[in-house]
Amino acid sequence: MDQFAGRIAVVTGGGTGMGRELCLALAKAGAHVAMCDVSEANMAETRALCEAAAPEGTRITTHPCDVSDEAQVLSFRDAVAAAHETEHVNLLFNNAGIGGGGDFVEGDREEWERTFGVCWYGVYYCSRAFMPLLVASDEGCLVNTSSVNGFWANIGPMMPHTAYSAAKFAVKGFSEAMIINLRVAAPHVKVAVVMPGHIGTSIALNTSQVLGKGTALDMSADEVALVRKRWTDLGMPVDNLPDDDIRQAIHQRGIEFRDNAPTTAAQAAEIILDGVRNDRWRILVGDDAQRLDELVREFPEEAYELSFLEKLRDGNVFAGLASVAEGQEGG
């Protein structure tokens, strides 16, 4: 699919971050865009940006939807078909995601399942719902956002990261399996798996809100105590730091994760769309993702040892990944 003008694109998580930038880039290219998000206010901002940039006649629609709820996803699909007066779509970007659920042994089960639900079942439910519409097109592409955590289940020393990593491994495996499935059953539909490194998005700031916990500034005393323990285990002198200072530090790291990333959300969107245009099924986003992929392949048995983290530091890969860990802490 070397051009997007006149195509119908569905984007989940379109309210902020990469989702917003995908919507904007697609709209600029003349694609009709249907986005969903849990935040109607964020979607309204994205829609205004798209409408200001898109050629005349481009249709931009917004649809509130929690992608971890299949009933909402089916309603989203039906609303897209009605709003765009269509029986097909050309592009489905399964982009929505949150962090959280890091600790499987001692962490909160509800948070774990919520994170896994958005990051994996959101991809599954949307793929199920929209697959008949993709197959009904003359040319289609299913674009699933995994992560570097889809091939490396870690974000730093002593930082459990189980729910997100498990989900992103599932997204990667599903996408790769769909290469053959689509080649056999619907060869005019392609699939791509996207694996971003550290991208400048608000995931670290938004995660706690999606999990129903407010922001990092609203963390409970128990959550702060868990962060304090982990930071102490890492040798950080936080024993006597007031709880509110820890909350503020986590919030600030979320801001720094968004604002100091090596790859912006807009740059990530262009890399993804270039990959789709060039029929690439495997799209690594960012130099850090490229280097991490190389190192995991070169040292697979060492990937979860401290010596591997030293390799990341030596290659200046670890700084961004450490920001992920710190930004999502407590989320």
pLDDT in tens, 225-269: 877 776 676 677 878 888 887 777 776 666 656 666 789 999 999
- The token pair that represents 256 in the structure block: 């720094």
Mean pLDDT of the chain: 89
Indicate whether 179 belongs to any domain. Answer: yes
Residue 70: predicted pLDDT? 98
Instruction: Establish if 293 belongs to a structural domain.
Output: yes
Mean pLDDT for the stretch of residues 136-157: 95
**CA dist., res. 114 & res. 127, Å (int):** 19
Lowest mean pLDDT among 40-49, 102-111, 227-236: 227-236
Q: Is the pLDDT of residue 276 over 70?
A: yes
Measured distance CA(127)–CA(174) in Å, rounded: 10
Q: Which of 269, 295, 289 is nearest to 50 (CA)?
A: 269
Instruction: Pick the range with the lowest mean pLDDT from 6-15, 58-67, 185-194, 239-248.
Output: 239-248
Q: What spatial distance separates the first Cα and last Cα of the chain, rounded to whole Å?
A: 37
Average pLDDT rounded to a whole number, residues 99-107: 93
- In angstroms, the CA 324 to CA 210 distance is 17
Evaluate whether 99 touches 164 at the Cβ level (below 8 Å). yes
User: Is pLDDT of 324 > 50?
Assistant: no
CA distance linking residue 240 with residue 101, whole number of Å: 27
* Residue bearing tokens 């920001």: 323
Per the CB < 8 A criterion, the answer to whether 306 and 239 are in contact is no
| Structural domain span for residue 271 | 8-328
Q: DSSP letter string over 153-201? A: --SSTT---HHHHHHHHHHHHHHHHHHHHHHHH-TTEEEEEEEE-SEE-
Determine, yes or no, domain membership for 38. yes
Within-domain flag for 3: no
* Structural domain includes residue 268: yes
Please check whether residue 62 is in contact with residue 47, taking contact to mean a CB–CB distance below 8 angstroms: yes
User: Does the structure show a pLDDT above 80 at 157?
Assistant: no
- On whether residue 213 sits in a domain, the answer given is yes
pLDDT of 326 reads: 40
Q: Which amino acid, 323?
A: S
The string of DSSP letters for 203-244 reads HHHHHHHHTTS--GGG--HHHHHHHHHHHHHTT---TT--HH
The region of weakest confidence among 162-166, 221-225, 250-254 is 250-254
- For position 228, which CATH number holds? 3.40.50.720
Structural domains in the chain (count): 1
For the stretch 278-313, pLDDT in tens is 999 999 999 999 999 999 999 999 999 989 988 998
- Average pLDDT of span 110-117: 97
Does 311 fall in a domain?
yes
Question: Is 1 domain-assigned?
Answer: no
Predicted structure pTM score: 0.85
